[in-house]
Amino acid sequence: MATFTVSHIVDGDTFDVAEGWTWNGQRGERIRPTGYDAPELHEFGGLAAKQKLERLILRQVVEVRAAHAIDRGRLVCDVYCNGHNLADYFPEFKT
């Protein structure tokens, strides 16, 4: 388990962390949480999803409990905020 401070929200399901992560010999800053798939910014609901994620985690500490893969430079992992899986805050987009 590792904790990171969120430094930037890219969209409703992608964000950057200030300290950066290391996993399986690779490093990066971008994270893609598992469990939900928010619309892209140009799609209906995309901007609202980004704003919701900003209110939840921007400049907050999040917890990464399990990493699964690296996809397009993003660490795909289980992310927790306030003890809850981040996907639980986005039931409308759960996968």
Q: What is the domain extent for residue 22?
A: 2-93
* Contact predicate 21/31, CB 8 Å: yes
Overall domain count for the chain? 1
pTM equals: 0.96
pLDDT band at 1 (very low <50, low <70, confident <90, very high): confident
Q: Per-residue pLDDT tens for 18-65?
A: 999 999 999 999 999 999 999 999 999 999 999 999 999 999 999 999
| Backbone torsions φ then ψ of 78, nearest 5 degrees | -80, 125
Structure tokens at 41: 């910014």
Find the CATH number of the domain harbouring 18: 2.40.50.90
